[in-house]
Homo-oligomer: A and B are copies of this chain.
Amino acid sequence: MTKLTDVAKAAGVSIATVSRVLNNPGSVNADTQQKVQQAIRSLNYKPSRVAQRLRSKGGNSKIIGLVLPDIQNPFYVDVIRGVEEAMYEKGYAAIMCNFAQNEDKERLYLDILQSESIDGLIVAPVHGRDQKVANMVLSGLPIICIDRGLTGVEADVVLVDNQQGAFDAISHLIKLGHQRIAYISGLPQIPTSKARLAGYEAAFKEHGLPVDETLIKYGDSKHESGMRLTAELLDLPTPPTALFTGNNLITLGALETIHSRGVKIPEEIALVGFDDMYWSISLNPPLTAVRQPGFEMGQRAAELLFQRIKDPARPTVKVVFDATLQVRSSCGAAAKNS
């Protein structure tokens, strides 16, 4: 690796001058400028980001952390793409960490990121009372929470109105005449699971219908849990007539179980999932789902992070996107409502 001294030697100036043309071009003689630029180019010099990071206080390292619960979930992939696009434009790099819904793993990654002296962090905390993340916020590191907030600490957050999304989904089902509507939740301690449950219950209340607790199942937010819990539901003496799945992966698991048993959708059971996928239309049947704008959320989170890095004192904000129901045919013939 060629370094500052090499360039300085080649250009016949001091390393300080080289550093200046890199960081403060205005402050140096045009001729010198030329010579140095020339040397930099011919030596193909690239500053060591490690040395830069060690030297500067923070906020100039152009590296941030991105910590997400499950990279297999296409929603988070969209978030990643959104974040990444915004980062790319600003020459930032992201250390991406997938903690697979595992708190220990999350902690390890967070430790690593801290010791990597990142400029900031975008994270979907394991749960609302994530002490580790809360402490990092308190320590002054610029942090944006995505998908899930933190309780008890002031922090920027960008998420979707989960309650409303679930409410819309269940209302749709109720209007179609369903009453025995099951809900397969992800990990119960995750804020989004709670909000979606709240929306589920609110919809029943709104229509004066009782909630049947036996139709609510809790899993771990993964594919396998969707398969297993759907089987349990189908095995009930009187199975539900409709199913609301708490996330992408659960939906796919549910679909697998339903198909393997030869149960017809939507005739024998209607299905609406939380989280849309761009290929939901190619599923059997085309899936009705609640869409979260993951890409936009990721972009937005990145922008908020840049702002906070620049101005750590900026008041915290909460950005709430709409969750929109995409009606296709897994709940019956294309309904009138859009």
* Interfacial residues, chain A to chain B (CB-CB below 8 A): 1, 46-51, 53-54, 63, 71-72, 77, 80-81, 84, 88, 91, 93-98, 105, 108-109, 111-117, 223, 252, 255-256, 259, 278-279, 281-286
Contacts and interface: CB of A to CB of B under 8 A. Distances in A.
Nearest to A223: B278
B96 A95 contact: yes
A49 B259 contact: no
Contacts of A93: 95, 97, 109, 112-113, 116
Q: Can you tell how many copies of this chain the complex includes?
A: 2
Contacts of A94: 95-96
Contacts of A109: 93
B48 A117 contact: yes
B284 A285 contact: yes
Nearest to A285: B284
Given A71-B80, A282-B284, 20 more contacts: A48-B115, A48-B117, A49-B112, A50-B54, A54-B54, A80-B98, A81-B98, A88-B105, A91-B112, A93-B95, A93-B97, A93-B112, A93-B113, A94-B96, A95-B96, A223-B279, A252-B279, A259-B281, A259-B282, A283-B284
Contacts of A46: 111, 114-115
Given A49-B116, A105-B88, A279-B255, A95 B95 contact: yes
Nearest to A96: B96
Contact of A81 (B47, B49, B71, B282): B71
Which are the 10 A-B pairs with shortest beta-carbon distances?
Answer: A284-B284, A96-B96, A255-B282, A252-B279, A49-B115, A93-B112, A46-B115, A50-B53, A50-B117, A50-B54
